[in-house]
A and B are shown apart, each in its own frame.
Chain A
Amino acid sequence: NAGVMQNPRHLVRRRGQEARLRCSPMKGHSHVYWYRQLPEEGLKFMVYLQKENIIDESGMPKERFSAEFPKEGPSILRIQQVVRGDSAAYFCASSPLIRDRADEQFFGPGTRLTVL
């Protein structure tokens, strides 16, 4: 049973370009979360999605950032017109989220974005 998969593992972009980060949840998981980790800091929640729905985007910057989790295919975190401050590790997590149970989130290996 493969774990959470993220690609690419490393991504280099120049200022002003677009970055697309992909996340495939564990088999049977329909809930995806994105977190960002700036250098030497802890992880910060960005967005929580279920299939075709954004449930909580309270941690997403208001501009340039968007996320989706289509019915088919991986979840995508998209950053438009990247700036140097977007350089970070972006982690995706998934869970089955069975109601009335405290479910753990399983994390992927992360995508390290470097903006030149």
Chain B
Amino acid sequence: DAKTTQPPSMDCAEGRAANLPCNHSTISGNEYVYWYRQIHSQGPQYIIHGLKNNETNEMASLIITEDRKSSTLILPHATLRDTAVYYCIVRVVNTDKLIFGTGTRLQVFP
């Protein structure tokens, strides 16, 4: 079973920041937080991951709370092409399999 809880859907205006929350209250010390997204019915696309520090890359930022029980994925300037299902996953390094929950369906509107 997935160890994360996400809202089923969110809306965001184009050009605005999209903030997607994720709860992972039972996360262990050696588990990373990963974010993937699936656009329409394509294969999932990796976005970002982190352990305890905040992370940023060209796609997004990941903010992890100090107690690591929750995190937020931030898309700084959402575009229509960011409309997708976003999955938050906790994963022990080198146990390999990804356990997907139901994700958050983000709809970006003009």
Contacts and interface: CB of A to CB of B under 8 A. Distances in A.
Interface in A48-101: 48, 55-56, 58-59, 89, 91, 93, 95, 97, 99-101
- Interface size range on B against A: 20 to 34
Interface residues of A, number: 31
A27 interface: no
Contacts of B102: 41-42
B96 interface: yes
Interface stretch (B63-71, B76-84, B87-95): B87-95
Most buried by B among A45, A95, A104, A110: A104
Contacts of A2: none
Contacts of B2: 42
Contacts of A91: 43-44
B42 A42 contact: no
A108 interface: yes
Given A102-B32, A102-B49, A45 B42 contact: no
